[in-house]
């Protein structure tokens, strides 16, 4: 697939000033400046994240009301229900708050809505469960900010709500006792990008302070917070970076039994990094809600022994195997449908439907299809008498607005810039397909239909040394707004020893000047002929460390290549 290269511009003056104060390679200084780090003190805070850099939880609007209501429930021996969404952010948030409250309050339970019976967020079934079982306070995590009618219903039943959420509020807000959400317009909390579990952690921190508990009592949850940050793809900046940094430390030194069990089942026996949480731990947790019931994910995280956690982890691992089988089969089927319809192959959008596809994986399948046909995509399946499914966008295109423009054909929809869910009558799928194609074709910038490869800096092979790589490692944890740096090296040559491996990968052997590096380029076999031209190449890559028979060496993870310009 063709990619457009975007080499980020260097602020040469700021880069040189930072280089003089840090005395490190200018390429790293350039990247730091691009990421908003311009002074020695800012660099020190970035490279040495400290829990002391976290903001005072009491700065969050309504924190005093939330803490007061929880402590009142404690003193009055009220039953508290901790309610959360069925994804990683929701289940980790519930596990954290539930375990913390359990330290001093026994009248406690948790509730995770069933994805298919109840849908996303606060549910009527959950509120009815609370009423039938005598709960007088519900604390919602990673959901609730839009549940105006349902929280009003709970209020009528005599149940108070505390909402901990990070999603953008609407004009109307629920009649809760307290709403903790840094994205509220009149909330002065300095950092706005916390995930739902992060907001829950701030609540825990405030309660701990009010009860004069040591800060260390809150730190035991940091590995779960880091897992939520990784899975929810929130910016890896500010407090998220601090929490993820120390959460990874906790995950490697003294992990939650659930994380330890999932790591074992995933075959992870080395140091855990953010990408392990994203690609190994998070999918297994999410699979519980996609394929079955996410309650067992919380049960795993709150297990009091490794053996108990492992039993739940095995259930999640099995769910994930089923999920992989389902999304692989559906993806193959969808790709074949597109291949067999020439007019679809040339479209600016993809809309596919089969009544037997599993509802829990259609969002994943939409993302898989974008990897093949880089364009806004909707994947639908049958749900009852209707079609329902998920939409995914390409970066930079507002998918929600495009779905909104198709509202005449929909029974319901919701989502945000990059993803959405929708429901419609089966008879209107073809009309939706035509309208969606019309809307996207007329509004999308054609450049957005070509994947962008962001390149942080140019680098010579002679600069790629262990000392340089060690500083790169200190930029972890990586994530949105702090991605692992990508470099470009120009006018490199093939040594003649590069070869295709496993059908569509290239194992590279490249020379620039007197320096030779090996590397791997996944899915780049279609560009192997460029090596045969014997002309100089420009390559884009990330730097990895390869370990073989106990020996470590640096290698290139090649992302793309092209013939050098004269």
**Domain 341-449 and domain 453-563 have a common topology:** no
- The pLDDT score that the predictor gives to residue 517 is 96
Cα 493 from Cα 512, distance rounded (Å): 6
Rounded CA-CA distance 494/504 in Å is: 18
Q: How many helices (H) and strands (E) does the chain have?
A: 22, 19
pLDDT at 189: 97
Residue 119, pLDDT score: 80
- pLDDT over 80 (residue 345): no
pLDDT in tens, 234-271: 999 999 999 999 999 999 999 999 999 999 999 988 88
pLDDT number for residue 198: 97
User: Does the domain spanning 453-563 belong to CATH 2.40.50.460?
Assistant: yes
DSSP per residue, 211-230:
TT--THHHHTTHHHHHHHHH
CATH topology of domain 57-317: inorganic pyrophosphatase (n-terminal core) (3.90.1640)
Spatial separation of the C-alpha atoms in residues 469 and 544, rounded to whole Å: 8
User: What is the pLDDT at residue 560?
Assistant: 97
**Share of residues in the chain with pLDDT > 70 (%):** 100
Angle ∠(143,144,147) on CA atoms, nearest 5: 135
Q: What is the pLDDT of residue 422?
A: 92
- pLDDT at 66 exceeding the cut of 90: yes
Q: Helix (H, G, I), strand (E, B), or coil: what is residue 468?
A: helix
Most distant pair of Cα atoms in the chain: their distance: 79
User: CA nearest 463: which of 494, 487, 493?
Assistant: 487
Q: What is the pLDDT of residue 301?
A: 97
Question: What's the confidence (pLDDT) of residue 269?
Answer: 80
pLDDT recorded at residue 508: 96
- Structure-token pair, residue 358: 């599993």
C-alpha 511: how far from chain center: 36
Query: What pLDDT does 509 receive?
Result: 96
At 168 the pLDDT is 86
pLDDT for res 551? 84
CA–CA separation, 142 and 93 (whole Å)? 8
Residue 134 to residue 120: CA distance in whole angstroms: 24
CATH class of the domain comprising 341-449: alpha beta
Is the pLDDT confidence value at 452 over 80?
yes
pLDDT over 80 at 1, yes or no: no
Q: Tokens for 420, please give them.
A: 């959405």
> φ and ψ at 185, to 5 degrees?
-55, -40
Tokens for 303, please give them: 């297990």
Q: pLDDT grade, residue 130 (50/70/90)?
A: very high
∠ Cα 119 124 125 (to 5°): 80
Whole-number pLDDT of residue 233: 87
Average pLDDT, the chain: 94
pLDDT at residue number 440: 96
List the domain boundaries for the chain: 57-317, 341-449, 453-563
The answer on pLDDT for 274 being more than 80 is yes
The answer, yes or no, to whether the previous bond of 452 is cis (omega within 30 of 0) is: no
Quick check: 56 pLDDT over 90? yes
Q: How far is CA 237 from the centre of its chain?
A: 14
Burial 5-16 (b: 16+ CB within 10 A, else e): eeeeebeeebbe
Query: Cα separation of 553 and 235, whole Å?
Result: 31
Report the pLDDT averaged over residues 558-564.
96
**Mean pLDDT for the stretch of residues 530-549:** 92
Contacts of residue 527, defined as CB under 8 A and 6 or more positions apart, other chains included, come to: 506, 521, 560, 561
Please report the pLDDT score of residue 268 as a whole number: 84
Q: Has residue 559 got a pLDDT over 80?
A: yes
Confidence of residue 473 (pLDDT cuts 50, 70, 90): very high
**Residue 116's pLDDT band (cuts 50, 70, 90):** confident
For 385, counting Cβ atoms within 10 Å of its Cβ (0-12 exposed, 13-18 middle, 19+ buried), the class is exposed
pLDDT tens-digit readout, 408-433 = 999 988 888 888 899 999 999 999 99
* pLDDT at site 324: 93
pLDDT of residue 532: 87
Q: What is the DSSP string of 54-116?
A: SPPGGGSTTHHHHHHHHHHHHHTT-EEEEEE-SSHHHHHHHHHHHHHHHTT--SEEEE---TT
**Rounded Cα–Cα distance for residues 177 and 160 (Å):** 6
SS3 288: helix
Helices marked H in 340-377 — which ranges?
342-345, 362-372
Q: 230 and 244 in contact (C-beta within 8 Å)?
A: yes
């Amino acid at each position: 697939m063709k990619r457009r290269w975007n080499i980020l511009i260097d602020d040469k003056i700021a880069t040189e000033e930072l280089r003089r104060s840090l005395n490190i390679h200018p390429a790293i200084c350039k990247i730091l400046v691009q990421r908003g780090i311009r002074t020695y003190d800012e660099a020190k805070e970035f490279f040495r994240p400290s829990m002391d850099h976290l903001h005072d939880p009491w700065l969050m609007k309504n924190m005093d009301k939330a803490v007061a209501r929880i402590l009142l429930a404690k003193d009055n021996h009220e039953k508290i229900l901790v309610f959360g969404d069925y994804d990683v952010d929701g289940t980790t948030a519930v596990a954290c708050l539930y375990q913390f409250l359990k330290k001093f309050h026994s009248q406690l339970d948790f509730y995770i809505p069933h994805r298919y019976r109840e849908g996303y967020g606060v549910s009527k079934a959950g509120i009815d469960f609370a009423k039938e079982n005598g709960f007088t306070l519900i604390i919602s995590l990673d959901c609730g900010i839009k549940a105006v009618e349902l929280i009003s219903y709970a209020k009528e039943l005599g149940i108070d709500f505390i909402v901990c959420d990070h999603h953008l509020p609407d004009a109307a807000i629920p009649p809760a006792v307290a709403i903790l959400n840094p994205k509220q317009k009149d909330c002065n909390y300095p950092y706005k990008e916390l995930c739902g579990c992060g907001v829950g952690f701030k609540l825990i921190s405030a309660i701990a302070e009010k009860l004069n508990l040591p800060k260390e009592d809150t730190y035991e949850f940091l590995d779960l917070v880091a897992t939520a940050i990784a899975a929810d793809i929130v910016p890896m900046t500010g407090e998220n970076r601090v929490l993820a940094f120390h959460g990874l430390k906790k995950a490697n030194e003294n992990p939650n039994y659930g994380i330890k069990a999932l790591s074992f089942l995933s075959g992870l026996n080395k140091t855990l990094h953010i990408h392990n949480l994203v690609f190994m731990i998070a999918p297994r947790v999410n699979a519980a809600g996609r394929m079955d019931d996410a309650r067992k994910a919380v049960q795993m995280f709150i297990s009091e022994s490794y053996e108990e956690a492992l039993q739940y982890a095995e259930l999640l691992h099995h769910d994930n195997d089923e999920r992989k089988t389902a999304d692989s089969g559906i993806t193959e089927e969808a790709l074949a449908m597109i291949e067999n319809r020439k007019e679809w192959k040339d479209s600016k959008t993809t809309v596919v439907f089969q009544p037997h596809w599993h509802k829990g994986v259609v969002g994943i399948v939409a993302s898989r299809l974008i990897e093949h046909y880089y364009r806004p995509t909707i994947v639908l399946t049958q749900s009852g008498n209707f079609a329902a499914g998920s939409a995914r966008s390409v970066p930079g295109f507002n998918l929600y607005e495009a779905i909104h423009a198709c509202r005449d054909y929909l029974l319901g929809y919701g989502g945000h810039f990059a993803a959405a869910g929708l429901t419609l009558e089966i008879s209107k799928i073809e009309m939706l397909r035509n309208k969606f194609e019309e809307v996207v074709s007329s509004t999308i910038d054609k450049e957005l239909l070509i994947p962008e490869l962001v390149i942080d800096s140019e680098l010579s092979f002679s600069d790629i040394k262990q000392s340089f790589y060690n500083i790169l490692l200190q930029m972890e944890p990586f994530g949105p707004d702090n991605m692992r740096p990508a470099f470009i090296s120009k006018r490199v040559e093939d040594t003649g020893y590069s070869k295709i491996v496993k059908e569509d990968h290239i194992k590279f052997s490249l020379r620039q000047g007197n320096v030779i590096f090996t590397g791997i380029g996944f899915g780049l076999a279609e560009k192997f002929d460029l090596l045969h031209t014997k002309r100089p190449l420009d390559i884009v890559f990330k730097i990895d460390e390869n370990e073989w028979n106990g020996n470590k060496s640096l290698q290139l993870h090649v992302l793309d290549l092209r013939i050098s310009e004269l």
